[in-house]
């Protein structure tokens, strides 16, 4: 908050493909009413050019109304942490002391593996079993279940990656290190830019580490090796855990082949069974647990410009790897000399700008023609250089004249040097 003007600082925070907080934009509003949030969202869309696919907030009604008014088509999700925290305050004490109820309730509302109808069936069973029909808080939460229950986000990419505002709370703590509570607008603007620059530098360091780090594979599966080339290093470690878990504890229980679809039935160590479908027409796989579809699109490597679905392996991957290693190889070579590093980065930036605008840098041929025009002559294709003629000199020519020797007190030279 900028206290000098009593304005509220509102950053738009998300996750990058390292799982780290990133600020997309920020604004200042004078209050937390619907019209103020609507104004903020309109300007956010104008700046970004598109509406966000999903937004996570607390249960603020003014913000909910503004989202419905401006961010049409954006999935709105409530922070589950806030809901569970408030629930612990408002539920009867008998339930807080009931470990069985807490275990059943958490299993019902936090699960990513149940469909909406399964959730509703389990919720109704809990309400009836623990006599919660007359508790308004539970009835209200159920009425707005589509805003916070993971079961209603199973078909949405990244739905399970961001389901609390904890990442926003983390960013608020981050900004407290840069923003002063009584700063004026000019000071606030400078401090905010400093915070953003710090965030970008941290991201650059992660990019550099990701480009130079060589992931250690835990299995011999081609799938793991391919994943190591697609995901960032920090995200690959999480994916790798899933790969190892699946390789060690999952097994094929059944298989059925059709004309266009192959169907696999897989079982895990907890006796759970899932169906995986292989669509032969487009060579894609899907599992009824839907976890991979929720997680995969966020953590792909940003250096290669990957945005969206998983890429299939091709020679393009190899070219990208080679070019990436070449670029960061130069960075490693010059990192000890800051002036050389600046010159390298400046040269790359200049070349990139010229290529982007369609005016590439002056070629060697053009430069040669400019030199010829300057000197008024054409440089020959080949230049023959002859050794100079040898000049024979007499001995006395190596000594100074006699009158000069007398003035300087020179004794003469006995030998030619």
Q: In whole angstroms, how far apart are CA 330 and each of 39, 85, 215, 341?
A: 46, 51, 21, 9
User: What does the alpha-carbon distance between residue 280 and residue 266 come to, in Å, rounded to a whole number?
Assistant: 19
Using CA atoms, how far apart are residues 290 and 379, in angstroms rounded to an integer? 69
- Inter-residue contact 287 to 276 (CB < 8 Å): yes
Q: Which two tokens mark 341?
A: 């590093």
Q: Is 362 exposed, middle or buried (0-12, 13-18, 19+ CB in 10 A)?
A: exposed
What DSSP assignment string belongs to 22-81? EEEEEEEES--SHHHHHHHHHHHHHHHSS--SEEEE-S-HHHHHHHHHHSTT-EEEE-HH
Asked whether the beta carbons of 231 and 213 are under 8 A apart, the reply is no
Tokens of 383: 């230049």
C-alpha distances in angstroms, 14 versus 40, 54, 166, 183?
Answer: 17, 10, 11, 26
Spatial separation of the C-alpha atoms in residues 159 and 170, rounded to whole Å: 19
Chain-centroid distance of CA 80 in Å reads: 24
Cα–Cα separations (whole angstroms), residue 402 to 397, 408, 412, 415: 11, 10, 9, 16
**Residues of the chain by 3-state class (helix, strand, coil), percent to 5:** 50, 15, 35
H/E element holding 246? helix 233-249
User: Terminal CA-to-CA distance of the chain, rounded, Å?
Assistant: 85
**pLDDT tens across the length of the chain (417 residues):** 555 677 888 889 888 888 888 888 999 998 889 999 999 999 999 999 989 888 988 888 889 999 999 999 899 999 888 888 888 787 888 888 888 888 899 889 988 888 899 999 999 999 999 888 888 888 999 999 999 998 898 877 654 456 555 666 777 788 888 888 788 888 888 999 999 999 888 888 888 888 888 888 998 888 898 888 888 888 888 889 888 888 888 888 888 888 899 998 888 877 888 888 989 888 888 888 777 666 554 544 433 222 222 222 333 344 444 455 556 556 656 666 767 777 777 777 777 777 666 655 555 565 566 666 656 667 676 767 666 666 555 554 444 444 444 444 444 444 444
pTM (whole model) above 0.75: no
DSSP 164: S
């Amino acid at each position: 908050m900028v206290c000098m003007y009593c304005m509220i600082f509102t950053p738009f925070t998300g996750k990058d493909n390292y799982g780290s907080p990133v600020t997309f934009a920020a604004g200042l509003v004078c209050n937390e009413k619907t019209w103020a949030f609507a104004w903020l969202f309109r300007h956010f869309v104008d700046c970004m050019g598109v509406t966000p696919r999903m937004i996570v907030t607390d249960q603020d009604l003014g913000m909910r109304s503004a989202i419905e008014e401006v961010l049409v088509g954006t999935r709105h999700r409530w922070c589950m942490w806030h809901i569970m925290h408030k629930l612990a305050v408002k539920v009867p004490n008998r339930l807080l002391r009931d470990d069985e109820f807490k275990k059943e309730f958490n299993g019902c509302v936090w699960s990513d593996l149940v469909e909406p109808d399964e959730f509703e069936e389990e919720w109704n069973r809990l309400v009836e079993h623990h006599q919660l029909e007359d508790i308004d808080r539970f009835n209200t939460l159920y009425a707005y279940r589509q805003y916070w229950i993971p079961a209603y986000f199973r078909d949405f990419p990244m739905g399970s990656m961001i389901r609390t505002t904890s990442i926003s709370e983390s960013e608020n703590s981050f900004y407290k290190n840069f923003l002063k509570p009584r700063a004026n607008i000019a000071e606030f603007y400078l401090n905010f830019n400093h915070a953003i620059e710090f965030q970008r530098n941290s991201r650059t360091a992660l990019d550099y580490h990701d480009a130079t780090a060589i992931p250690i594979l835990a299995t011999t599966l081609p799938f793991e090796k391919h994943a190591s080339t697609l995901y960032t290093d920090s995200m690959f470690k999480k994916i790798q855990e899933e790969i190892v878990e699946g390789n060690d504890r999952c097994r094929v229980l059944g298989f059925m082949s059709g004309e266009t679809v192959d169907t696999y039935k897989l079982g895990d160590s907890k006796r759970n069974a899932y169906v995986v479908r292989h669509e032969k027409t487009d060579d894609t796989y899907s599992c009824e647990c839907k976890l991979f579809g929720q997680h995969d699109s966020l953590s792909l490597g940003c250096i290669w410009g990957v945005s969206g679905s998983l890429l299939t392996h091709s020679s393009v991957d190899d070219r990208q790897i080679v070019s990436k290693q070449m670029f960061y190889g130069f960075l490693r070579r010059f990192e000890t000399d800051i002036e050389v590093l600046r010159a390298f980065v400046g040269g790359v930036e200049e070349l990139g700008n010229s290529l982007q605008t369609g005016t590439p840098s002056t070629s060697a041929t053009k430069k040669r023609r400019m030199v010829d025009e300057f000197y008024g002559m054409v440089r020959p294709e080949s230049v023959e250089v002859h050794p100079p003629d040898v000049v024979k000199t007499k001995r006395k020519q190596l000594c100074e004249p006699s009158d000069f020797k007398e003035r300087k007190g020179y004794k003469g030279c006995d030998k030619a040097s």
